[in-house]
Chain A
Amino acid sequence: AQSVSQHNHHVILSEAASLELGCNYSYGGTVNLFWYVQYPGQHLQLLLKYFSGDPLVKGIKGFEAEFIKSKFSFNLRKPSVQWSDTAEYFCAVFRGSNYQLIWGAGTKLIIKP
């Protein structure tokens, strides 16, 4: 089945640790890729997006993601996390064929101070 997979449902890190959250999708063809974040008690907001061009995209708050077409992946990274990065992170893929944003299950990130 066509899907978006986020491999880790829960990640716990200490402050200053490096972060990588995995996202894989199973669609062929052209896709647009997104990472959204939902901080506790706050609304979903866009971290970064990839439509075309440089496969390494930079987003807000020091996050970046790399699109690897051959691996159908769009992993999110941050070199040094902060306690304030504690949140739920969602990867999403837009396919033009069904005009829908398909969401991964989310990764709950907890940063220990």
Chain B
Amino acid sequence: DTEVTQTPKHLVMGMTNKKSLKCEQHMGHRAMYWYKQKAKKPPELMFVYSYEKLSINESVPSRFSPECPNSSLLNLHLHALQPEDSALYLCASSQDFPGGGNEQFFGPGTRLTVL
């Protein structure tokens, strides 16, 4: 199974809502990533977890809160978002991190719209 799954596929939320994005992989990978991708742009790294510990936080606003409950799951908790946070949120995993830059396997993403 070389799949990274993400739920939900689409999410519309107001600026006062709290919601969560979920990501799951069963490849035994020990590194997991959150990226934000705006239309016609490359992915922007937000967070990296390695062995369930936060390794990189790319100065992401605190309204985004990641969580790694176990080695297969990665969540992104959202609270008080702004309209400019609307984007495609991608989850990825790799065998380990940094690992010389192992191949990252991407999920299909959650299309988030903040009203």
Contacts and interface: CB of A to CB of B under 8 A. Distances in A.
Interface string B86-105: 00001010000110110111
Given A42-B108, A99-B56, A100-B45, A108 B103 contact: no
A46 interface: yes
B69 interface: no
Contacts of A100: 45, 56
Contact of B98 (A42, A92, A99, A105): A99
Contacts of A44: 43, 90, 92, 106
Interface in A19-61: 32, 34, 36, 42-46, 49, 51
Contacts of B45: 100-101
Interface string B4-26: 10000000000000000000000
Interface centre among B4, B43, B45, B48 (most CB of A within 10 A): B43
Interface in B55-101: 55-56, 90, 92, 97-98, 100-101
26 contacts: A34-B103, A42-B108, A43-B90, A43-B106, A43-B108, A44-B90, A44-B92, A44-B106, A46-B103, A46-B104, A46-B105, A49-B103, A88-B40, A90-B42, A94-B98, A96-B100, A96-B101, A99-B48, A99-B55, A99-B97, A100-B45, A101-B101, A104-B42, A105-B42, A106-B42, A108-B40
Interface of A: 32, 34, 36, 42-46, 49, 51, 88, 90, 92, 94, 96, 99-101, 103-106, 108
Given A43-B108, A88-B40, A100-B56, 6 more contacts: A42-B108, A46-B105, A90-B42, A96-B101, A105-B41, A106-B41
